[in-house]
């Protein structure tokens, strides 16, 4: 594996549906194992699972950065930078987030290489789409902070959602292949705020939900995105308790408890149906308290 010019192994959009779905399922299986091993501080074993995962899919930046961090922890800066560079080759903005801390001070770290990888990435996507999402997110964040103006925030969230609908109708949902990890994450935040704070939020959900579900079924979307949005919507709109267990609450003591789950006895089956691991794994790795009625085995 060479350091410069490292690119993703495949473009998901170019694959037949059945193969793309199978590859995503394999990726999710190995990356989940890696995350559980990292929670146990078994860095070498986690790296092995990440390397297996990246044979199937190599576009999810958080996992790439976690793999780089695991290599850094073991003192292998060369390998750490390789995977940092793959993150840049998938649109990760290294200028805003430097990734593993010690790596930046090592001899192998090269901003020139990272910049070249990101520049090459930007040539492969819909740059206008990404720029629009970036501008929308900057506007979103500009009305959030200490001096919160809820009226202005609602106005901005409504405008952003209307613009996002127009962009989706023109270009399709912001997939990694279209706008990279950064663009997909920007869109997630815009949707999250728009569903709950923008005007006509429920109608916006009715527009996006079938599109999101279809993207998930076709292997284009990480299941945690869909599950998080779904749980927030059904909970905040008062329809029912969350379905997938992605929402939790903090106590004054500092403990974290998963919020009540609808039909909790079948939550793991629902999670499995969309590609998520058992709720017990999240509870164990994040040191949370289980929701009422759920038994951690």
Instruction: Per residue of the chain (297 residues), give pLDDT as tens.
Output: 333 333 343 445 556 688 999 999 999 999 999 999 999 999 999 999 999 999 999 899 999 999 999 999 999 999 999 999 999 999 898 887 766 678 988 999 999 999 999 999 999 999 999 999 999 999 999 988 777 788 899 999 999 999 999 999 999 999 999 999 999 999 999 999 998 887 777 889 999 999 999 999 999 999 999 999 999 888 776 667 899 999 999 988 889 999 999 999 999 999 999 999 999 999 999 899 999 999 998
Cβ atoms within 10 Å of 12's Cβ, excluding its own: 20
Burial of 71 (0-12, 13-18, 19+ CB in 10 A): buried
Fold entry, domain 12-122: 1.25.40
Q: Collapsing DSSP states into helix, strand and coil, what is residue 288? A: coil
What is the distance between the terminal CA atoms of the chain, rounded to a whole angstrom?
40
Q: Where do the CATH 1.25.40 domains begin and end in the chain?
A: 12-122
CA pair distance 215, 125, nearest whole angstrom: 18
């Amino acid at each position: 594996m060479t350091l410069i010019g490292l690119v993703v192994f495949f473009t998901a959009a170019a694959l037949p549906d059945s193969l793309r779905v199978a590859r995503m399922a394999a990726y999710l299986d190995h990356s989940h194992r890696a995350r559980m091993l990292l929670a146990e501080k078994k860095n070498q074993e986690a790296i092995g699972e990440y390397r297996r995962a990246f044979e199937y899919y190599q576009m999810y930046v958080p996992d790439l950065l976690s793999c780089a961090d695991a290599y850094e922890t073991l003192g292998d800066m060369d390998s750490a930078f390789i995977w940092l560079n793959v993150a840049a080759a998938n649109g990760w903005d290294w200028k805003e987030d430097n990734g593993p801390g010690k790596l930046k001070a090592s001899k192998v770290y090269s901003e020139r290489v990272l910049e070249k990888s990101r520049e090459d990435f930007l040539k492969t996507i819909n740059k206008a789409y990404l720029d629009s999402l970036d501008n929308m997110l900057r506007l979103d964040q500009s009305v959030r902070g200490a001096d919160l103006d809820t009226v202005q925030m609602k106005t901005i969230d409504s405008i952003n959602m209307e613009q996002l609908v127009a962009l989706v109708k023109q270009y399709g949902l912001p997939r990694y292949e279209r706008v990279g990890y950064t663009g997909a994450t920007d869109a997630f935040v815009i949707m999250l705020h728009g569903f709950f704070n923008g005007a006509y939020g429920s109608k916006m959900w009715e527009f996006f939900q079938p599109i999101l579900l279809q993207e998930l079924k076709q292997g284009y979307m990480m299941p945690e995105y869909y599950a998080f949005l779904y749980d927030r919507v059904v909970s905040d709109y008062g329809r029912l308790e969350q379905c997938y267990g992605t929402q939790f609450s903090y106590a004054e003591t500092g403990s974290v408890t998963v919020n009540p789950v609808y039909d909790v006895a079948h939550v793991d089956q629902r999670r499995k149906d969309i590609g998520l691991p058992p709720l017990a794994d999240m509870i164990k790795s994040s040191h949370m308290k289980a929701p009422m009625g759920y038994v951690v085995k």
